[in-house]
Amino acid sequence: MKVILASDHGGIHLSKEIASLLEEQNIEYEDIGCNCADSVDYPDYGIPAAERVANGEFDRGILICGTGIGMSIAANKVKGIRAALVHDVFSAKATREHNDSNMLTMGERVIGPGLAREIVQTWLGTDFQGGRHANRVGKVTDYENN
């Protein structure tokens, strides 16, 4: 599995924590920044990351900003992206099983590193259930394509 990781200045510390986790787990990833202390704009990182998931270069993407909300809004504008804003382990599992989310967004100002690590591990390790959920995801994709 190949993962793309991005953050704005509001998510930089949590992003580094998640990069460490991916390294520990031997998961292939690319960190596209910002790796910055200065204020930047989350769409400048979230949208390019989402495009690289949508075009198949990466299987999954993880986006972090202050709240996770801006990144979620931006990523979900990219066709083919199902970005889930998640701050608990139950939702991390459910959004993979039910929504086949291909991007995860989190807020560094909302949760701590321990919970974020559990969320990422759960989200990366849970499969889509398909079945009735595939029908529902398909309706969203149909709307997006028409």
Q: Known binding site for D-ribulose 5-phosphate: residues?
A: 8-9, 66-70, 99, 109, 132, 136
Tokens 């390294």 — which residue?
23
Asked whether the beta carbons of 72 and 87 are under 8 A apart, the reply is no
**Type of residue numbered 92:** A
Q: Does 66 bind ligand RB5 (CB under 6 A)?
A: yes
Q: Which is nearer to ligand RB5, 10 or 61 (CB)?
A: 10
Residue with tokens 């990366």: 124
Given 54, 69, 134, 137, the residue binding ligand RB5 (CB under 6 A): 69
89 sits near ligand RB5 (criterion: CB under 6 A): no
Give dist(CA 40, CA 42) in Å, integer. Answer: 6
Q: Which of 13, 136 has the CB closer to ligand RB5?
A: 13
Contact between 8 and ligand RB5 by CB under 6 A: the answer reads yes
Query: Residue 36: CB partners within 8 Å, gap ≥ 6?
Result: 9, 12
Residue 142: is it exposed, middle or buried by C-beta count within 10 angstroms (0-12/13-18/19+)? exposed
124 binds ligand RB5 (CB under 6 A): no
Annotation says 65 is catalytic:
yes
Contact between 88 and 119 (Cβ < 8 Å): yes
Residue of 4, 53, 65, 92 interacting with ligand RB5 (CB under 6 A): 65
Work out whether 10 is an interface residue with ligand RB5 (CB under 6 A). Answer: yes
- Tell me, yes or no, if 133 is annotated catalytic: no
Catalytic residues: 65, 98
Which residues contribute to the site for ligand RB5 (CB under 6 A)?
A: 8, 10, 42, 65-67, 69-70
